Amino acid sequence: MDQEGVRRALETVLDPELGLDIISLGLVYRIECRGDAVDVDLTMTTPACPLAESIREDAERAIVSAFPNAKPHATIVWSPPWDARRLSADAKEALGW
């Protein structure tokens, strides 16, 4: 298990409102792997996002699905605030930016 593997697992987690994965949306700020422990810092596009907890849980499930022995801990963070510069080129195209 490494950062790139966790990143690929997180690409399966979709924002239900936008239908795009959380990596492409730039919602993943940090991935740290230490043995079986995986810490992930996520943000949302707005602090008022009603799906934050659901997306956080989906991220942890995706990691365990890819790495059954993993002990994920995903945290929602607000600093720095998300902005559209974090979007991947594919996400910008899909959103018409």
Percentage of the chain beyond pLDDT 90 is: 84
Q: Read off the pLDDT of residues 4-26 as tens digits, 9 standing for 90 and up.
A: 999 999 999 999 988 999 999 99
pTM for this one?
0.92
Could you give all domains of the chain from N- to C-terminal order, each with its CATH number? 3-81 (3.30.300.130)
How far is Cα 48 from Cα 97, in angstroms, rounded to an integer? 22
Residue 20: closest CA among 75, 67, 73, 87: 87
Mean pLDDT of 60-82: 96
